[in-house]
């Protein structure tokens, strides 16, 4: 799911950049890029196992309200070895 969301977000951002004209501000483009990055980050979390099923909208809301958690998830995701920790190492 993450790779698809990342690929779709990249395409959407390029499309937004390509259609960017003098009427669109740099701030609007940066806001769009941040929204897409938030969606990518949410895709990393939405499939985690909790008592209640997570939704993309719920995760995005949580990440918007807790930017420190978003930063931690993004930092851990950068280090794939940590993020995709082998379950066998936990046993």
pLDDT by residue (tens digit) across 58-88? 999 999 999 999 999 888 887 766 655 555 4
Residue 57, pLDDT > 80, answer yes
Question: Cβ atoms within 10 A of the Cβ of 90, count?
Answer: 6
Convert the pLDDT of each residue in 28-52 to its tens digit. 778 888 888 888 888 888 878 778 8
| CA nearest neighbour of 32 among 47, 11, 58 | 11
The sign one gets for the Cα dihedral 51, 70, 89, 6 is positive
Domain of 37 in residue numbering reads as 2-90
For the chain, the domain total comes to 1
The two tokens of residue 6 are 């990342």
pLDDT band at 91 (very low <50, low <70, confident <90, very high): very low
């Amino acid at each position: 799911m993450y790779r698809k969301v990342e690929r779709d977000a990249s395409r959407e951002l390029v499309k937004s950049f390509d259609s960017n004209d003098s009427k669109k501000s740099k701030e609007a483009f940066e806001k769009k890029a941040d929204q897409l990055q938030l969606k990518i980050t949410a895709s990393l979390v939405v499939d985690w196992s909790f008592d209640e099923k997570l939704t993309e909208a719920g995760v995005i809301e949580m990440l918007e309200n807790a930017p420190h958690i978003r930063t931690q998830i993004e930092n851990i995701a950068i280090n794939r070895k940590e993020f995709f920790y082998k379950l066998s190492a936990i046993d």
